[in-house]
Amino acid sequence: MNILQDIESPVVVPGLTLGDAISRFLGVNVGTPLQRKLSKLVMLLFGVAVVCALIVLGANRFHTSQEVIIYAVATGLSMIPASIVVVLTITMAAGTKRMVQRHIIVRNLKSLEVLDAVTDICSDKTGTLTQGKMVARGAWITGLCFA
């Protein structure tokens, strides 16, 4: 016999998994599609940063001297792109320009994210794109390989 058969519980939600609850708590499932993707990207980068910091600590046998802690934190922070805000601003400006060319009136900037879907974000942390040092060595197009 189920004790909570006739009682509506505000905590138990049918069909809601623990992952959904955690995602809702962290704010990964709210906002525009771009905001949701960026939230997931940030969570992934944070996870990678924590793993890198743990690897550094593990390599030093979890000896927590000041140098080891600073090195672990620096290694973790190097995973987070510094120019992500600039890249997003430029991407949004390019999308806005394209919509203006098509004579679309945008009252809310969030509608830009929904209407003009972003498929790829290219970030340049090292300067290889802006300095012209990046070279394409191969391309893969639907089953074809050019190298």
Cβ within 8 Å of residue 146, ≥6 positions away: 138, 139, 140
> Is-catalytic flag, 120?
no
132's CB contacts (< 8 A; 6+ apart) are none
Q: Could you give the residue ranges of the DSSP H alpha helices within 2-123?
A: 18-26, 33-59, 66-77, 84-101, 109-115
Catalytic residue among 6, 20, 120, 124: 124
Q: Which residues are catalytic?
A: 124
